[in-house]
Amino acid sequence: MSDPKPKRILIVDDHPIMRLGLGKLVDAEPDLEVCHEAGTAREALAHLEQDKPDLVLVDMTLPDRSGLELIKDIRAAFEGVQCLAISMHDEELYAERVLRAGGRGYVMKEEAPDKLIEAIRRVMAGGVFLSEKMETRVVELFAGGGRGGTPVDRLSDRELEVFRLLGQGHGTREVAGKLGVSVRTIDAHRAHIKEKLGLRDATELVHQAVRWVETGQIG
Question: Model's pTM, two decimal places?
Answer: 0.80
For residue range 21-50, list pLDDT tens digits in order: 999 999 999 999 999 999 999 999 998 988
For residue range 50-71, list pLDDT tens digits in order: 888 999 999 998 888 889 999 9
CA–CA gap between residue 100 and residue 194 (Å, rounded): 24
- Read off φ and ψ for residue 106, nearest 5 degrees: -145, 125
Q: Could you tell me the CA-to-CA distances from 98 to 16, 23, 151 in Å, in that order?
A: 23, 22, 18
For residue 1, pLDDT over 50 is answered with no
Q: Could you tell me the CA-to-CA distances from 150 to 90, 100, 111 in Å, in that order?
A: 13, 17, 24
Who has greater pLDDT, 133 or 21?
A: 21
Closest CA to 97 of 145, 150, 157: 157
Q: Which domains does the chain have, with CATH numbers?
A: 7-144 (3.40.50.2300), 151-215 (1.10.10.10)
CB 94 within 8 A of CB 87: yes
Query: Which pLDDT belongs to residue 3?
Result: 64
